[in-house]
Amino acid sequence: MSCANCNGIPAECARCGEGGGVATAERNAEHRLGQFQTTPQRDEPVPSASIANDHLGCKKSTGAKVGADGELHSKHFTSTRNACKLCTPLGACLVYRGVEGCIPFLHGSQGCSTYIRRYLISHFREPMDIASSNFHEDSAIFGGSKNFSQGALNITRQYQPQLIGAATTCLTETIGEDMPRLLHELRQNHGDAAAPIVHVSTPSYRGTHIDGFHDAVKALVEQLGSAAGDACAAAPRINLFPGMVSAADLRHLKEILADFGLNYTLLPDYSESMDGETWEQYEKIQSGGTPLAAIAATGSAKASIEFGRVLEAKETAGTSLVKKFSVPRHLLGMPMGIRETDAFFNLLATLSGNAIPLKYQRERGRLVDSLIDGHKYTFEKRAIVYGDEDLVIGLTAFLCEIGVTPVLCATGARSGKFEAAIRAAAPGLPSETLVKAGLDFAETAEVAPELKPDFLIGSSKGYKISRSLDVPLIRVGFPIHDRVGGQRVLHLGYRGAQELYDRIVNALLEAKQDTSTIGYSYL
């Protein structure tokens, strides 16, 4: 078990100081020295080219090498160092902020909510309140029932939310807190004094922020969805579960759905609550978000669309609606680049019975034209792509379309579906490209120099690698902590592909100018 943030075990979450009760002081001491082995020892290395160890502040070099078999081999592998994934409740909290009138509530110790708030605020540059049931030593031993009830009542009194979105932290999960019993006791003892609560289980040692995100969407649909629907709606209703995308992506998706004349539930929708306007008066809970009535109507929809090629075998909001209300589910890749976006638009045309609006046909046409204009700058350029699985899959498909060779596609997640999904989405991906699940930034840094990338594309957490290699970093996804506007990066649709393409080409041109002794002004 490891804390996705501090890379430690829950008993030693260095960031929040949380203890999980499963590790001894001796093991914690080993962990601090970088000796604690949390995953099985990997195979002995296959001799091959040595890779420089630029391990970004990690505790210990692994001496990682790319073997003759094309695999990464690490002689002294210890544990995750500088993880390429985030804490599971973080994803759940973001989902809850994308529901109208909802306040996230973490059942666990205070440090977890502080960490998640800091992470989200640094990216979105918006206030992010997350309540905590504030575990202390006694709650870790005797359970946090009282903390949970008191917390729910305090939140209701102070925020008057329409909904409380509860999620559990590593500590709560480790002690085996019985959440259904706690919810039952709350209602038994206090009736309706606390606002309605939706609960999701989010142990960080069993997933990533993306798992927490999808599981929270599923919990909302399962606990609030119904078949009653909105009978008076003039247009067919569809559900769209986009996964963890930017606020700009959500706004663009809403525009597309409206242009197809569809009545829709977009869940979650933090396009306004996490990227809003200035206020005349302080708002305890920012306005915006998916209305509860729209979530209730998910069971009466004509179809659900979910973005996420790795979700194939996972229980999601979409599969839940299939089982409970027989709502057909369409699983697509994130609509990034031309082929994946075509699939999304064609499906919307089928579901709505309307042709693809002219403005999107024109956006596609301009995109294709720009790819022709810029192909000489991108052709055979080498890229390292990293981040959340489905984002990396979408980016890789797009990079292959524009003539870039992804040399490493890396994610910190371990769904078991990553490589098959990426090769299905990007059939042009060379067989020698390294496709790695469960990779951390220290391992990526060790292997990167040998791969000789022209640029990196991923979150701002790859900055130190790009700096050490002196190649551009195209910041996409989450988190982007060293620039403003991370929430306004558009990734999806033809428009998102156009913006990404222009950024990639211009970054390559800028790098060429900056490293030129001549200083060409015409490229």
Site for ligand SF4, rule CB under 6 A: 3-5, 10, 13, 16, 18, 87, 89, 112, 115, 169-170, 204
Residue 20 or 127 having the CB closest to ligand SF4 = 20
β-pair partners for 266 = 240
Gap between the Cα atoms of 217 and 93, Å rounded: 11
Residue 204 or 239 having the CB closest to ligand SF4 = 204
Picking from 274, 227, 270, 240, the residue whose alpha carbon sits closest to that of residue 95 is 270
Picking from 265, 275, 217, 311, the residue whose alpha carbon sits closest to that of residue 490 is 275
Residue 167 or 327 having the CB closest to ligand SF4 = 167
Residue 13 or 51 having the CB closest to ligand SF4 = 13
Task: Report in angstroms how near the CB of residue 109 gets to ligand SF4 at its nearest.
Answer: 7
Phi, psi angles (nearest 5°) of residue 510:
-65, -40
Phi, psi angles (nearest 5°) of residue 446:
-70, -35
Picking from 382, 380, 378, 392, the residue whose alpha carbon sits closest to that of residue 422 is 392
Q: What is the DSSP letter of 388?
A: S
Task: Report in angstroms how near the CB of residue 205 gets to ligand SF4 at its nearest.
Answer: 7
Task: Report in angstroms how near the CB of residue 173 gets to ligand SF4 at its nearest.
Answer: 8
Phi, psi angles (nearest 5°) of residue 50:
-80, 150
Task: Report in angstroms how near the CB of residue 32 gets to ligand SF4 at its nearest.
Answer: 16
- Which structure tokens are listed for 486? 């991370």
Residue 203 or 299 having the CB closest to ligand SF4 = 203
Task: Report in angstroms how near the CB of residue 108 gets to ligand SF4 at its nearest.
Answer: 6
Residue 13 or 392 having the CB closest to ligand SF4 = 13
Task: Report in angstroms how near the CB of residue 170 gets to ligand SF4 at its nearest.
Answer: 3
Residue 6 or 262 having the CB closest to ligand SF4 = 6
Task: Report in angstroms how near the CB of residue 83 gets to ligand SF4 at its nearest.
Answer: 10
Residue 80 or 405 having the CB closest to ligand SF4 = 80
Picking from 405, 391, 419, the residue whose alpha carbon sits closest to that of residue 480 is 391
Gap between the Cα atoms of 229 and 225, Å rounded: 9
Task: Report in angstroms how near the CB of residue 338 gets to ligand SF4 at its nearest.
Answer: 37
Gap between the Cα atoms of 364 and 6, Å rounded: 43
Picking from 310, 120, 242, 258, the residue whose alpha carbon sits closest to that of residue 492 is 242
Task: Report in angstroms how near the CB of residue 120 gets to ligand SF4 at its nearest.
Answer: 13
Task: Report in angstroms how near the CB of residue 368 gets to ligand SF4 at its nearest.
Answer: 43
Helices (H), 402-492: 418-425, 441-451, 463-469
SS3 for 284-326 is CCCCCCECHHHHHHHHHCCEEEEECHHHCCCCCHHHHHHHHHC
Gap between the Cα atoms of 333 and 309, Å rounded: 5
β-pair partners for 99 = 290
Q: Are 126 and 117 in contact (CB under 8 A)?
A: no
Residues 6+ apart with CB under 8 A from 18: 3, 10, 108, 109, 111, 112, 135, 169, 170, 171
Residue 213 or 307 having the CB closest to ligand SF4 = 213
Task: Report in angstroms how near the CB of residue 115 gets to ligand SF4 at its nearest.
Answer: 5
Residue 127 or 203 having the CB closest to ligand SF4 = 203
Residue 206 or 376 having the CB closest to ligand SF4 = 206
- The DSSP element (H or E) to which 455 belongs, if any, is strand 455-458
